[in-house]
Chain A
Amino acid sequence: MKSIIVALALLFSVTAGAAQQSLYQQFGGKQGIADITEEMLFQVGGDERIAHHFEDVDIVRLHRLLTEQICQVVGGPCEYTGDTMKASHRNLGISTGDFNVLVEHLIRAMEKFDIPTSAQNQLLAKLAAMHNDVVEE
């Protein structure tokens, strides 16, 4: 029981150390974010559960907009120039399951680039808040 408490204390102190870097820096700046979104879109394209949603989409443009948006969400010096989440996902028929699959690929991409769990969670929570605007129920 004691060892679990020690392990927990250690983990939270690791988190505190990471906090000295800004969230944007922990994502590797604009280039780091661009790499993550590229990896995510690459994985999404190969996942038959949701790939069909992106068949007629300009992926280069989507990559640019997603990168801008995430950069802005994590406090970076970027301005998102795309549409609102509600407008851009209207009538796409995206389900909560689809949303989860995209999140799963984002997590995989973040893990590939060794983004700390605490930084991942901060981004994920902000994206999860957009669930209602993206998903149609």
Chain B
Amino acid sequence: MSDAATMSPGGRALNNSLVMTARSLRLSSRNVDAVFTSLMLPIMLMLIFVYLFGGAISTGTGEPYVAYVVPGVLLLCAGFGSSGTAVSVNEDMKGGIIDRLRSLDVAGAAILAGHVASSAVRNVVSTVLVLGVALLIGFRPTPTLPGALAAAGLLLAFIIAISWLAAAVGLLTGSPEAAGAFSFFMMFLTYPSSTFAPIATMPSWIHGFAYNQPVTPVIESLRGLLLNQPVGTDPWVALAWCGGILLVAVGLSGRLFRNRTA
């Protein structure tokens, strides 16, 4: 009765990944609280920084503070959004659903790909919302068309890389609560970067880390591309980081998945 036998292995993997993505999106749509929280926090942070602290922060760019802070908020938002992935992967591993999926011969990669793809969809939606709010409070980006596409592509690459990293964290942690702490990790990665203030204004002992961690080149690239300013090699460094994180996360999560289901 089943077409599974006649489907090519690639076709089956794609079919299964799509079904798992649809599942994951459906589950997110029924967990609006969590999605809403992961969206509200970055937007609140943006409003707080723009209206409360923004006046005190000199970015040295001549742009209004909102233009400075938006790229970082987009990343923060992606970080919070993907911590939902860590939680759902962790919850999946605790229940009987993984055994059922494996006995239907669904590969671990398809299960994780479903989580990551739905995380990407959620994050695209929240990115649009954050940009909407930013426009309302005076953000006026001036990208060229290629610049806008490059920014979108880079942000998507970042989202996918850290979503897959979040999936690995979900496999690594023992409880959904611990998995949820991934959002703190993302917060502590964005604060010592040029998210809210130029790194040059921070104490010098942190410069080495702040300049050379993955979030900074992504933010610098997005800021440059959105405001149509020169970006130098930042986009390439950023892409290399995303590719490296993705590679490590995919390898690590594959290993962890096998270990946890052996």
Asked if A pairs with B, the answer is no
A residues contacting B by CB (< 8 A) are none
